Each structure stands twice: as structure tokens, then as C-alpha cells.
Amino acid sequence: EPEVTQTPSHQVTQMGQEVILRCVPISNHLYFYWYRQILGQKVEFLVSFYNNEISEKSEIFDDQFSVERPDGSNFTLKIRSTKLEDSAMYFCASKWDRGTEAFFGQGTRLTVV
Amino acid sequence: DAKTTQPPSMDCAEGRAANLPCNHSTISGNEYVYWYRQIHSQGPQYIIHGLKNNETNEMASLIITEDRKSSTLILPHATLRDTAVYYCIVRVWFGGAAGNKLTFGGGTRVLVKP
């Protein structure tokens, strides 16, 4: 069964450093998403991406965050200057059409120290 | 998207059916009911969705009341691997924004016991 792949599974970074979280969505999918989940809290939407542009973003997704689909297969989330409160599980998701179900990756655990 | 209400937790015996309720009294006519689950901090996993008819797939059944104000997810023969947080989410099929994000609530933490 096709799956969404995220790397790395765990990343530790120092506060103020830039991090890039990587995702390989399912190959024929057209809609891409990032969500995050702070330990013990709800899964929160960050951003959606379609047709090479952001289609929706949450209040969390401020100027420190950016997304890119550089080569038609990878989908990345960059945090420019990490803060302690960015520590969370980050989930990538994709789907082939707006109404279809989303497939989630296994997540990247980001720890900012 | 309509708000949903789920019990915070429930236990279920292995091999028995698990019935997970969800209230969505403010659901509108073009909103679907989706169920996802999250097993121990893994990525959420799609289970099933429906509009007004009952639906069944290899994982579960979804029963939606006639007035569509509530629904029940049924896991017919719960196994230990079904222990997870189950999320009931209501949203339109084709959202106003192209994003069609999912809005997760607290879900129901289901513990399947031997």
C-alpha cells in the first residue's frame, strides 16, 4: 500500500537554529498538508499546499514557517528560527483530491533544546 | 465546520464490538462525517466517512442517524491493536478553501482490554 514517508523520525535542534522537515507524499496526490501535535494536545492544522502554492494556513503558521515542493516529489516544512514551543510531532499528509481521505505520515518528532 | 462532541474515553473487551458515539447537532446538509484514529502518537489513519447513508468497509461501520445529528462508529470485533484515539470530524466534501483541512478535537481514547 502506498504511504507518506517522513524524515527524519526524530530531530533535535538548538533554539534559534533552522530545521527542515521532509516528506515524500504519495506519488499521484495533489494536495499536501502539515499538521503538528504538541505532546498531550490535539492535532493542529498548519498549512495546506496545492498547485505549488499555499491554499490555507493557520495562525500558527507565521513568518518563521515556510513550505516548498522543490522537485515534484518532496514536500518540506522549514522553521527558520526554532523556539522551545516548536517542540512537537509534525505530520505530513497528502490526498489526491479535495474530498478524498488524507493519508498521514508517521511524523517527525522535533525537540528544540 | 460543524463542532463534534465525543466521550473522552471508553473501554472495550477484546473480540467484542466497540460502539463509538459522536454528536454533531449543528451539521449542515453538505457536511460529511469522517472518522480517523491515532495509535499512540503515530500519524492519524483514515477509517471511514459518510453523508447520510450507513457505510461499511473492511475496518468499521458508520451509522448516521436519520436527522444526521449524531453518528456511531462500530468496530465489529475489537482487537488489542484497535487501542487508539478515535476522532469524529465533520466537514464539507469540497471545502470553500482549496485546503480542505481536518480539524481534530480531543477524540475518544479507546482502550481494548483482553
What was the pLDDT predicted at B41?
81
What was the pLDDT predicted at A58?
95
Q: What is the pLDDT of residues B8-67, one digit of tens each?
A: 999 999 999 999 999 999 998 888 999 999 999 899 999 999 999 899 999 999 999 999
What was the pLDDT predicted at B91?
86
CB A57 within 8 A of CB A46: yes
pLDDT at A112 over 60: yes
Interchain proximity B38–A43, CB inside 8 Å: yes
Q: What is the pLDDT of residues A1-12, one digit of tens each?
A: 789 999 999 999
Mean pLDDT, chain B, whole residue set: 92
pLDDT at B95 over 60: no
- Chain A positions in Cβ-Cβ contact with residue B97 (cut-off 8 Å): 48, 55-56
Q: What does the pLDDT average to over A57-86? A: 95
Task: Give the closest-approach CA distance of B95 to chain A in angstroms.
Answer: 8
At residue B94 the predicted structure's pLDDT band, cuts being 50, 70 and 90, is: low
Interchain proximity A33–B98, CB inside 8 Å: no
Contacts of A24 (CB under 8 A, 6+ apart): A4, A5, A6, A73, A74, A75
Task: Give the closest-approach CA distance of A61 to chain B in angstroms.
Answer: 14
| DSSP letter string, chain A | ----EEE-SEEEE-TT--EEEEEE--TT--EEEEEEE-TTS-EEEEEEEETTEEEEE-TT--TTEEEE--SSS-EEEEESS--GGG-EEEEEEEESSTTSPPEE---EEEEE-
